[in-house]
Amino acid sequence: MGVKKAKKKCCKDKPRCKTCPVVLKRLADAGFAERLDRTTYEFKEKPPKKAVSQARSR
């Protein structure tokens, strides 16, 4: 799917935005992305909608 870069800081929205560093780290921990460096993540394929919504929840 490609590479995504996380924002510098969480904006404290509810639910979290898709480029929030917390969301991308949660998706990487769940195995849907690979962390390349501190703020860059690589996705092999699009993660399931349920996994994204769970990662975005507060």
Flag whether pLDDT at 10 surpasses 90.
Answer: no
Question: For 17-43, how does the pLDDT look when each residue is reduced to its tens digit (9 = 90+)?
Answer: 999 999 999 999 999 999 999 999 999
Task: Provide the residue type at 37 as one letter.
Answer: D
**pLDDT confidence tier of residue 12, bands split at 50, 70 and 90:** confident
What one-character DSSP code corresponds to residue 46? P
Q: Per the structure, how many domains does the chain have?
A: 1
Mean pLDDT score across all residues of the chain: 94
Residue span of the structural domain in which 46 resides: 2-56
| pTM beyond 0.85 | yes
> At 32, phi and psi to the nearest 5?
-95, -15
Flag whether pLDDT at 16 surpasses 90.
Answer: yes
What one-character DSSP code corresponds to residue 47? P
Cα dihedral 3→48→15→24 (10° resolution) = -30
How far apart (Å, rounded) are the C-alpha atoms in residues 23 and 41? 11
